[in-house]
A and B are shown apart, each in its own frame.
Chain A
Amino acid sequence: MSKQTRKPVVILMADDDEDDVVLTRDALQEARVINEFHSVPDGEKLLQFLRHENDYANRKDLPLPGLILLDLNMPKMDGRTVLKIIKNDPDLRTIPVVVLTTSDAEEDIIRSYSLGVNSYIRKPVIFSAMVDLMKTLGTYWLEIVELPPA
Chain B
Amino acid sequence: MERGSTKLGENITLQTWILSGYAITLVAILIYGWSMFYSHQELQKSNQRLEQNHLIMVQAIALTRQVVDMETGLRGFLITGDEDFLEPYRSGRLSLATSISDLSRLIQDDIGQLNTLAEIERIVSEWHLRIANPEIHLRYQINRGELPLIRVSEVVQKRIGKKLMDTVRQHINAFISHEQKRNERRRLATEKDSENILYLSLLGALAAILIGATVIMIVIRSAAGPLTRMAETMSQLAKSSDFQLTADMVPSVQKRFLSKEVLLLNNTFYTMASRIDQSIKALNNEISQRKRVEVRVRNYSKMLAESNKDLESFAYVTSHDLQEPLRKIRAFGSRLQTQFAPALGEQGNDYLIRMISAADRMQQLINDLLALSRVTSKAKPFIPTPLSKTIEEVISDLETTISQASGIIEVDTLPTIHADSVQMRQLFQNLIGNALKYRHPDRTPEIRILNCGKVEEDGEFYEFTVSDNGIGFEQKYAKQIFGVFQRLHGRKEYAGSGIGLAICQKIVNSHNGHIHAQSEPDKGTVITIRLPLSPIKDDTHEQTNT
Contacts and interface: CB of A to CB of B under 8 A. Distances in A.
A130 B331 contact: yes
A118 interface: no
Interface in A58-97: none
Interface stretch (B321-329, B385-393, B452-460): B321-329
Contacts, number: 31
Contact of B331 (A23, A102, A105, A107): A23
19 contacts: A17-B324, A23-B331, A23-B332, A23-B335, A102-B323, A102-B324, A102-B327, A107-B546, A125-B323, A125-B327, A125-B330, A125-B363, A126-B330, A126-B331, A127-B331, A127-B332, A127-B338, A128-B334, A130-B331
Contacts of B332: 19, 23, 127
A24 to B, nearest CB: 10
Interface string B327-350: 110111011001000000000000
DSSP majority for the B interface? helix
Given A102-B323, A126-B334, A19 B328 contact: yes
A105 B324 contact: no
B327 A123 contact: yes
A105 B330 contact: no
Contact of B330 (A102, A107, A127): A127
Which 9 A-B pairs rank lowest in CB-CB distance, beginning with the nearest?
A127-B334, A127-B331, A19-B328, A125-B327, A23-B331, A105-B546, A127-B335, A26-B335, A102-B324
Contacts of A128: 334
Q: Which of B330, B331, B334, B338 is the most central at the interface, judged by chain A CB atoms within 10 Å of its CB?
A: B331
Contacts of A20: 328
Interface residues of B, number: 12
Interface string B500-536: 0000000000000000000000000000000000000
Interface in B304-336: 323-324, 327-328, 330-332, 334-335
A105 B335 CA distance: 29
Contacts of B335: 23, 26, 127
Interface string A134-145: 000000000000
A103 to B, nearest CB: 9
Contacts of A127: 330-332, 334-335, 338
B448 to A, nearest CB: 38
A128 B356 CA distance: 14
A8 to B, nearest CB: 25
A57 B328 CA distance: 33
Nearest to A105: B546
Interface in A114-138: 123, 125-128, 130
Interface in B372-402: none
Contacts of B546: 105, 107
Given A20-B328, A125-B323, A130-B331, 4 more contacts: A17-B324, A19-B328, A19-B332, A123-B327
A142 to B, nearest CB: 23
Nearest to B320: A102
B37 to A, nearest CB: 125
A130 to B, nearest CB: 7
Nearest to B339: A26
A126 B363 CA distance: 11
Nearest to B324: A102
B366 to A, nearest CB: 11
